Structure formats: C-alpha cells, structure tokens
Amino acid sequence: MRFACLLVATAFLASPPAGQAATAWDRLSVPPMKTSIYVGSVTLTPTVFVRTGDAYTATYEARVWPWFPWNETGSVTIRVPAADLERVARGETVNFAGAGADRKGRKRTVSGRAVPADAHTGKLKLRIHVDGIDLVFNGTYKFGG
C-alpha cells in the first residue's frame, strides 16, 4: 500500500477581500496530517502550496509507520477555479480534485473538501487514492503561506 498526497491538501480557497493584495491568496499552508492504517499510521507533510493559474501545487513527504519501505515523496496539483475561491471567501464549503505522482512516477488521485472558518483559515478533508486504497486525512489550512 503506497500513498501520497497532497494535499492537501489539500488546497485552496478564497479570493482576496477588497483592498488586499491578491498575493495573500497565492500561497496555502497545510500542516502535517496523520491517518491510521491497518497496524500503523501515515503522516503526510506537504510543502506550501503555490497557486499558478487555477491550481495549487506542492511537494509532499509521506511517512508510513512502522512500514518505512512504503515512505514516499512526490508532487501534487489541486485545481481550484476562481469561482470556488470566491465561494470560500463567502464561507461556503468547496469540493476539489487533483492529481499527483510519487518520485517514481506512480499516479495518485486526490479529492477533498474545504470548510472555511473565516476568509483565511478552515478545515480540510483530503482523500488520496493509492494502490486501491483511499487514505483519508483531516486537517486545517491557512492562506498566506
């Protein structure tokens, strides 16, 4: 069972309030997240997501305890159109999808949901499909890197 990310993230959400620079929304931080697997756990640690076009991209590290041979690193891109960012800024929950690959090129499917607490922070549920298994991570996000 190999997995991957991110991301996070996991990833997105919010257009800048009037008068604020758009760059505040170009970076998205997702702290490390952990989930349980059969006789162990997986910790997912993404880098800061950077927005380009309508997507956020980051690299990640996944650590599997105690199955260290299954540890991996890779990259992930999550598509978040401007309309979804505006919905998050209004406090609406947004679903997202994306794709990634580990450093060996194995594909990862990512989906999730962002539930805003305010215009800059919120809760994140991230599903990563890895080798026929869905890993589900619950965490938080914050705009601004």
Q: What is the mean pLDDT of each run of 10 residues along the chain (145 residues)?
A: 34 39 78 94 97 96 95 96 90 96 95 94 95 94 85
pLDDT of the residue at 126: 96
C-alpha torsion angle, residues 63, 29, 49, 46 (rounded to 10): 0
pLDDT of the residue at 15: 41
Q: Check: CB of residue 13 under 8 Å from CB of residue 95.
A: no
Cis (ω within 30 of 0) for the bond into 66?
yes
Q: Distance (Å, rounded) from C-alpha 125 to C-alpha 127?
A: 7
Q: Largest Cα–Cα distance of the chain, in whole Å?
A: 50
Q: Report how far apart, in Å, the C-alpha atoms of 107 and of each of 45, 50, 56 are.
A: 18, 20, 17
C-alpha torsion angle, residues 133, 137, 143, 145 (rounded to 10): -80
Burial class (CB in 10 A: 0-12, 13-18, 19+), 68: exposed
Q: Distance (Å, rounded) from C-alpha 41 to C-alpha 34?
A: 7
Q: Distance (Å, rounded) from C-alpha 140 to C-alpha 145?
A: 13
pLDDT of the residue at 2: 37
pLDDT of the residue at 23: 59
